[in-house]
Structure 1
Amino acid sequence: MPDMFSWRIAAHHPAVATVRRNSKIWFIRTEFTARASFDEAKLHGRNWRNDRVRALATTTSDSTDVVQDSTGRKAEIYTLIDTIHQHEDELAELLDDLLPSNYLDYIVDTRSWGMDDVFSGTIGHRNYESLENKVRGARQQFGEYLPEDHLNEAELELYNRLYGEAIMRPAESEAVIDEREPDILLRDDGEGGFEEIDVPPENGLEEEEEEISVAYETEGILDEDEDSSAFDRAKQVAERLGGVLLESGAEIAEEEESESGPRLHPLTEAGKYSTNPRTVFLPRDSVTGPISVILSNYSNRHIAEAAYKIFGGRRLPHSTTTLPPSAQIAQVPIPLSASQHQMSDMEANAYLAALYPGIYASTLSVLVEVRKRLGGKWLRDLMAQESGPRVLDAGGSGAGILAWRDVLRAEYETMVPDHPKDAPIPTGKSTVLSGSDALQSRASVLLDNTTFLPRLPDYVHVRDSSTLDDDRAPPKRKQFDVIIAPHTLLEIDEDYMRKQHVKNLWTMLNPNGGVLILLEKGRQKGFEAIAGAREMLLEKHISSSGSTEYESLTESGDQGSIQKEAGMIIAPCTNHGKCPMYHIHGHAKGRSDYCHFEQRYIRPPFLQRIIGAKDRNHEDVEFSYVAVQRGVDLRQTESVVQGKAATDAAFEGYEDSISTSEDGETGPPSTSTVNPLSLPRTVLPPMKRRGHVIFDFCTPEGKIERWTVPRSFSRQAYHDARKARWGDLWALGAKTRVPRNLKLGSAASAESKKERLQRRAASKMAGMDGEEQEAAFNMMEASEERKVAPALADALENQARSLERRKKGHNIPSWKRHADKKRIRQAVRKVSSNTAGEDFI
């Protein structure tokens, strides 16, 4: 045994251990009451030893500010600790036959002392792996809130890098009543006996505990009304402290888990689809504050009643709010449009209160994604123009401009770090479509230096050049660098008028890089409207490999080929083929799968009052969108590869293209750079199972596939897959891939009710025997001259419904089938008898 510690078992009591240190023998004995079990004694002894070892390490660290020779002596100390544990195992083998197992655990259990953890604070950990294990163990044990002084400086630094800034929880001192007798310290008196050593008490401990102050005094903050609910009191405290009260567990856990930490692969970070932070907080200075001032001039009750009447009820289902499909809400366009010319003051107030927050949040989410895919250079080039960026809000009545300016401000503050937060920035020229005077006057309060248009100019039916009838130059057209058109397609019923509207917006884009953003509600009809506009742009405007022209009428009126122009889809698609979720033109009946995304935002107080929500203050707005760029094709300028080759390369993964070190620093990229526009995108929330993650991707090949990333595939890929979210681009490959079965519905039938009933009756008669079919045919012939008996019609309808349910997989009981056939036979006999009687008469 080493000189540092040695053990000797006293013969007179199994719970007496002898420890020799520096040639002095000390005996430690703990006397227990008759009621105390041996398990309590075992736990008490372990706690005493742990405290002594930690006290020794604390004394060592306090006496020496900086440990010298930490590399040489550290290895010797940890080797000595391993030797102690080794000799402990040897001692356990020797005493295995002499003492019971529970006594043995109490005597030799140095591993419970945690000497590695104690000395690591002074001399450092054994290696980086032990340091990481300590930090991850603390995360698993305590979760998001870390006790104070639990981790040392090096451990806390690694904790912040892995999980974000640590939230310290003050140590809670619990008053525990210990009924056991105090410990007694004995030593050898040299005559074969023991003598007790007096230990001076720790004076002043109780006085110090009484002087501990409370971190926050909430007696003056909370109302003393006992009838107020806990939520009201918590909300009051949050308002006093200048914070926002979120739903329990809704967003705090997500925000605390850092997804931009150094452990994420750089390509995973580049493919993230989210704002920062993920939850959008509407700015008070530019959005919620001015709207609250405008609405304060009107009764809250009147505004709420107007909103219920316009948007379909208390939950506002016909606004930007997207209720779950189980609510079975009719998919209708938003009743209020920015282009309508007649709008009352109360309708304008309902527009601001119910539509502005959702349009702002969804538009901001799309703009952030467009900025990520085009890079910061795109925005900086727009701001560098002589007149600044030219932006048109063609459907949000100013909400899109507010979101655009926030993105522009964030980019400008990155360019100019010393720019004051409240100082203005160069916003360029902003134009807003607002047809009514009531809505225009309210939007002008929120927007300065903005031009308002009562209607959009029609450039589809305007000549592009001089003609024989008019040799004058064509009129000058307005052109915009960015056009934001939220919720403008569903309100147009005819498909050809929708295409005409999209074409008009396309002609107003700057031909040298203008960006068009179309956005609709995240439901089946909203997706179908966006997919139809995307298909039209690809067919007649955006040139792709193998499709550079299309057949149409030329300006001379003859059939000919028209050349397409350069352009590209920026988001969300990473392919330029036919949408795999849009196989039928127009509305598909029974569609379950469609491309859409979501964005969470905090409801402003005025929207909370209208909805009547008292606990949940956030909302997840779902939307479908497409962003295209005119005149610039990154597939040619930056060699962006799409198609089957890009899909296969993404399945293999680009994990090794950029090296990452253990401390999170990014190494030099490989010779072939990876553009995120060549990666698949998650079109549904990832399914994170135990040991593997399942993705549903829309690949650059234009297919919907299901990829699986198990733990065994790659440590980095599995780690990033656990952090992946809906809408992200994925670059680290997968282990398996299979086509995903989609429920895209079928074309909506145009047959009338009579035709549908006849078709069902024909399908029903196909399953009858010969006699029943003959009688049914006679009945149908007779029904041409006179009305069929109601009993027979009801029987046929019931059997037709049963057959339809059986085709869909429902189990129809045998007694129900026999009962339907019996009713039909009885009705046919009755009709036949009546017919025979009339013929006889």
Structure 2
Amino acid sequence: MLDELELIDEVELMDEETAPAETLEPSEPIEKDELTILMERVSDHGEEINELLDELEEMEYEHDIEEVAEILAQRRDHTSESFVHLVRQRFGDGLPDALLSEEELQIYIRLYGAPIGRADIDVMAEEEQDEPSLLRDDGEGGWEEVDMEEEAAKTDDGYAYDMDNPPKDPETLAEQRTREVAEQLGGQEALEQFEDEAVPGPTMRADPNTLAGRFGTDPSTIFLPEKAIMNPIAKILSGYANKHLYEVSNRVFGGQGLPHSTATPRGGSELPQKPLPLDASQRYMGQMEANTYLAVLYPGIYSAVLSVLVETRKRLGDDWLRGLLSQKGGPNVLDASGGGAGILAWKDLARTEWDKMYPSARGMATPPGKSTVIVGSDTLRARASQLLDNTTFLPRLPDYTHVRQKPTMEDSSEVPKRKQYDIIIAPYSIQGYTENYERKQHVENLWSLLNPNGGILILLEKGRQRGFEAISGAREMLLQRHIASPGSTEYDNFLEDPDQREVIQKEPGMIIAPCTNHSTCPMHNFSGTSHGRREYCSFEQRYVRPSFLQNILRAKHRNHEDVRFSYLSVQRGVDLRQDRGFQQNSTSTDVAFEGFPTPEDLKQNNEPTVETLALPRTVFPPLKRDGHVLIDVCTPAGKIERWTVSRAQGAQQYRDARKAKLGDLWALGARFRRVRNLELGGKHFEGKKERLERRAAERQLDAEEEGEIEEEDDFDDPDEDYRARSMPQDVQKKKGQRVPTWKKAHHNKKLRQAYNKRDRD
């Protein structure tokens, strides 16, 4: 077929050469005899050419026939290799049939491999391959071919072996010595078993008790919901310039990094610890301040509250949340200081549980319940209402602490009905009060708003020293006045108000998280502010920043943030210690130290076998060492201890200890334990400035005393004149002059040398 096509090309070329003179380029004249001979050849093969053209039209080419013909017309202008390059550039891997000759096809395969869709080439390549053969020495200096099927059928004594049971590696000297010692002692080798136990495998799963005690969300990083938070806030901020938002946010929240917001900048230990400068209940708030409240505070508040809600649900179980969603009208939730961010976190948690309860109606029905948000500013209320549906907004928090609780002589009417909430979320609301009595009144007011039959109160502050002290003070007040514990069922206010002494009967209650004890907090050494505190209880939750917060922070290197917070989740009217029958004391600590082995049958079902509310909680990030892990825990006995989990305890314990994080409850025990000494500061802690001032005053007092002694004593120092004469002039200190230390040392050295020389003389 290729010969005929070449013949057609020659005819076309001859036609071009015989065209009119005005259309031809200068060329050599062709003799008439040659043209006559060529035309005769065409006429002799005319029928064959027509048949070939008909077959060419009937063939289904991937490319246009005219395009193929155009490529064929360019063949004479290229070498074989350059023509292959041209075909490759035009058609790629899909090479049309009969386009390349055999020589060109071999060049194509050598350069680019076999073309796609050419099965004949693959078959040809397979046929060209020789059958594999096995050769061996025939013992006479030559090689002989071996039948592979015969060799494969040999027994284990031959060359072949089972791939599932390969031959063992040769025994090393160390392994041989180990085997000999084991045979002498009548034991067995267990090297492989020891390696499996010592080094946890990558596929090993966490213990069910470890999974039950983990803190935080799953996955550990929170992605803010676009439909509920990110898109509405971005739409609100779209009408304002980014530069204006950046300037207002830095002015309100303390400058670069926004240290006075929910964020905790790195290296911010020297920054002043202030409460949030914007309060949701404040009466007046400008438009830009309301915008920065949404852009800067909403992501951090939402992430921290969601983390605490998830932890609360884990400790109370499925029955608690499902019971709230199943009750008539649903739960009544109050966001006391989050501006609506706490309600958004609660709705996400309720939605997840609601979909699990009714999987067939996933995403269609809305979980029942009532939501109330405290917002004092009209501008913030207008913006928050665009994110919250079916929500009631109140301008201020109801005050029930100064309202009578029963009829009195002055007013014998019935007590006004109080509003009660099943869940109260109060983030960043305590530290704003400067006086301690104001903080106690605020917490008591929130407690009075709780449902006495199982209401949950969530308090949350920034994860710094002052934020922890505000939370620990609230915890101390609730345990002292309201929550009953074994040995403490009454509260006597004689020391606070001797004139109106009253003994109050405490009610049942329970600290759900983070504490697993109801004794005095081991990190709260006294009420009030502690100066010089370096260690405190705080936790963290990572979330991905939205784009508008990234623009305000001018962040380019990372798009996530770890919000640190101290919190307290407490339940009113229910004591799980009595309902579930467990204790929180030193005995529980000893049992937890020994560990809770999980039976294999329960381990396969992935079910926990311990009460998590009686386990110690990690309060500092675990320290990973070579062969062991150090875990600092707050025990049910109310102490901070350092537990050492060793590799020798087992692969499961060692693996879970290395995976443990801050806030997890630990159930697998430890090998060693000791009480930790904490740096908690004090009321009169001496800082660096105070220490320098004290030392300066002591030196001044010593100098004055030495001066008085010199005036009283009437004797001459025999070395005084020599010391004065020997001291260089540049070292003699004048009044108010500071002599460098190196110069003093040099002078003392010269002085000692002078004394030694005088003694020798």
Q: Does the C-alpha gap of structure 1 residues 749 and 653 become closer, same or farther in structure 2, counting only changes over 3 Å?
A: closer
- Residue 715 of structure 1 corresponds to 651
- Residue 400 of structure 2 corresponds to 459
> Displacement, 1:764?
3.4
Corresponding position: 1:399 with 2:341: yes
Q: Secondary structure at the match of 2:210?
A: helix
Q: Does the C-alpha gap of structure 1 residues 470 and 767 become closer, same or farther in structure 2, counting only changes over 3 Å?
A: same
Amino acid at match of 2:654: Y
Pairing partner for 2:421 from 480, 484, 504: 480
> Displacement, 1:452?
0.8
Distance in 1 separating the partners of 2:546 and 2:557: 13
Is the 1:534–1:626 contact (alpha carbons within 8 Å) kept by the matching residues of 2? yes
Corresponding position: 1:732 with 2:671: no
> Displacement, 1:301?
1.6
Q: Does the C-alpha gap of structure 1 residues 794 and 349 become closer, same or farther in structure 2, counting only changes over 3 Å?
A: farther
Corresponding position: 1:384 with 2:330: no
Distance in 2 separating the partners of 1:560 and 1:312: 45
Q: Does the C-alpha gap of structure 1 residues 609 and 688 become closer, same or farther in structure 2, counting only changes over 3 Å?
A: same
Corresponding position: 1:443 with 2:379: no
Distance in 1 separating the partners of 2:612 and 2:575: 15
Distance in 2 separating the partners of 1:284 and 1:524: 34
- Residue 701 of structure 1 corresponds to 637
Distance in 1 separating the partners of 2:744 and 2:472: 47
Q: Secondary structure at the match of 1:488?
A: coil
* Greater displacement, 313-322 / 325-334: 325-334
- Residue 675 of structure 1 corresponds to 611
Amino acid at match of 2:412: D
Q: Does the C-alpha gap of structure 1 residues 794 and 682 become closer, same or farther in structure 2, counting only changes over 3 Å?
A: farther
Amino acid at match of 2:699: K
Unpaired runs of 5+ in structure 1?
25-52, 57-72, 93-128, 141-161, 163-261, 778-790, 803-811, 823-841
Pairing partner for 2:444 from 487, 498, 503: 503
- Residue 433 of structure 2 corresponds to 492
Is the 1:389–1:481 contact (alpha carbons within 8 Å) kept by the matching residues of 2? yes
- Residue 786 of structure 1 corresponds to none
Q: Does the C-alpha gap of structure 1 residues 766 and 507 become closer, same or farther in structure 2, counting only changes over 3 Å?
A: same
Is the 2:465–2:533 contact (alpha carbons within 8 Å) kept by the matching residues of 1? yes
Is the 2:516–2:616 contact (alpha carbons within 8 Å) kept by the matching residues of 1? yes
Q: Does the C-alpha gap of structure 1 residues 520 and 773 become closer, same or farther in structure 2, counting only changes over 3 Å?
A: farther
Is the 1:659–1:667 contact (alpha carbons within 8 Å) kept by the matching residues of 2? no
Amino acid at match of 1:596: S
Amino acid at match of 2:706: E
- Residue 318 of structure 1 corresponds to 260
Distance in 2 separating the partners of 1:313 and 1:710: 46
> Displacement, 1:765?
5.9
- Residue 745 of structure 1 corresponds to 681
Pairing partner for 2:270 from 315, 328, 351: 328
Is the 2:337–2:374 contact (alpha carbons within 8 Å) kept by the matching residues of 1? yes
Is the 1:587–1:748 contact (alpha carbons within 8 Å) kept by the matching residues of 2? no
Q: Does the C-alpha gap of structure 1 residues 22 and 78 become closer, same or farther in structure 2, counting only changes over 3 Å?
A: closer
Q: Does the C-alpha gap of structure 1 residues 461 and 690 become closer, same or farther in structure 2, counting only changes over 3 Å?
A: same
Distance in 1 separating the partners of 2:275 and 2:141: 86
Distance in 2 separating the partners of 1:522 and 1:732: 28
Corresponding position: 1:665 with 2:604: yes
Computed over aligned residues only, the root mean square deviation of the Cα atoms, in angstroms, reads 4.0
Amino acid at match of 1:740: R
- Residue 67 of structure 2 corresponds to none
Is the 1:265–1:655 contact (alpha carbons within 8 Å) kept by the matching residues of 2? no
Amino acid at match of 2:222: V
Unpaired runs of 5+ in structure 2?
1-132, 173-191, 713-732, 752-761
Corresponding position: 1:512 with 2:594: no
Distance in 2 separating the partners of 1:635 and 1:78: 68
Is the 1:405–1:427 contact (alpha carbons within 8 Å) kept by the matching residues of 2? no
TM-score, L = length of structure 1: 0.62
Q: Secondary structure at the match of 1:649?
A: helix
Distance in 2 separating the partners of 1:424 and 1:17: 81
> Displacement, 1:6?
11
Pairing partner for 1:271 from 213, 216, 224: 213
- Residue 32 of structure 1 corresponds to none
Q: Secondary structure at the match of 2:292?
A: helix
* Greater displacement, 329-338 / 364-373: 329-338
Pairing partner for 2:699 from 755, 764, 767: 764
Q: Does the C-alpha gap of structure 1 residues 310 and 399 become closer, same or farther in structure 2, counting only changes over 3 Å?
A: same
Same amino acid, percent of matched pairs: 52
Q: Secondary structure at the match of 2:353?
A: helix
> Displacement, 1:761?
5.0
Q: Does the C-alpha gap of structure 1 residues 79 and 735 become closer, same or farther in structure 2, counting only changes over 3 Å?
A: farther
Q: Secondary structure at the match of 2:393?
A: strand
> Displacement, 1:667?
7.8
Is the 2:290–2:380 contact (alpha carbons within 8 Å) kept by the matching residues of 1? yes
Corresponding position: 1:85 with 2:21: no
> Displacement, 1:666?
2.8
Distance in 1 separating the partners of 2:570 and 2:453: 13
Q: Secondary structure at the match of 1:625?
A: strand
- Residue 309 of structure 1 corresponds to 251
5 Å matches for 1:785-804? none
> Displacement, 1:605?
0.8
Amino acid at match of 1:85: P
Distance in 1 separating the partners of 2:217 and 2:566: 17
Distance in 2 separating the partners of 1:694 and 1:706: 7
- Residue 76 of structure 2 corresponds to none
> Displacement, 1:640?
2.3
> Displacement, 1:775?
7.2
Q: Secondary structure at the match of 1:747?
A: coil
Q: Does the C-alpha gap of structure 1 residues 472 and 448 become closer, same or farther in structure 2, counting only changes over 3 Å?
A: same
- Structure with greater contact order relative to length (CA < 8 Å, sep ≥ 6): 2
5 Å matches for 1:133-172? 162=203
5 Å matches for 1:224-373? 263-326=205-268, 328-373=270-315
Is the 1:10–1:18 contact (alpha carbons within 8 Å) kept by the matching residues of 2? no
Amino acid at match of 1:744: L
Is the 1:598–1:621 contact (alpha carbons within 8 Å) kept by the matching residues of 2? yes
Distance in 1 separating the partners of 2:643 and 2:674: 7
> Displacement, 1:818?
9.8
Amino acid at match of 2:640: I
Q: Secondary structure at the match of 1:518?
A: strand
The CA deviation string for residues 462-506 of structure 1, in whole angstroms up to 9 with x for no partner, is 100000011011111111000000000111101110011000000
- Residue 523 of structure 1 corresponds to 464
Q: Which has the larger radius of gyration?
A: 2
Amino acid at match of 2:521: C
Amino acid at match of 1:381: G
The CA deviation string for residues 72-124 of structure 1, in whole angstroms up to 9 with x for no partner, is x99xx9985698736x969x9xxxxxxxxxxxxxxxxxxxxxxxxxxxxxxxx
Distance in 2 separating the partners of 1:19 and 1:272: 64
- Residue 419 of structure 1 corresponds to 361
- Residue 375 of structure 1 corresponds to 317
> Displacement, 1:420?
3.0
Amino acid at match of 1:503: E
Corresponding position: 1:597 with 2:544: no
Distance in 2 separating the partners of 1:475 and 1:490: 31
> Displacement, 1:756?
8.7
Pairing partner for 1:428 from 348, 351, 369: 369
Distance in 2 separating the partners of 1:793 and 1:373: 69
> Displacement, 1:720?
1.4
Q: Does the C-alpha gap of structure 1 residues 713 and 440 become closer, same or farther in structure 2, counting only changes over 3 Å?
A: same
The CA deviation string for residues 42-91 of structure 1, in whole angstroms up to 9 with x for no partner, is xxxxxxxxxxx9xx9xxxxxxxxxxxxxxxx99xx9985698736x969x
Q: Secondary structure at the match of 1:538?
A: helix
Distance in 2 separating the partners of 1:776 and 1:517: 69
Q: Secondary structure at the match of 1:477?
A: coil
Q: Does the C-alpha gap of structure 1 residues 264 and 18 become closer, same or farther in structure 2, counting only changes over 3 Å?
A: farther
Is the 1:765–1:773 contact (alpha carbons within 8 Å) kept by the matching residues of 2? no
Q: Secondary structure at the match of 2:167?
A: helix
Q: Secondary structure at the match of 1:705?
A: strand
Amino acid at match of 2:319: K
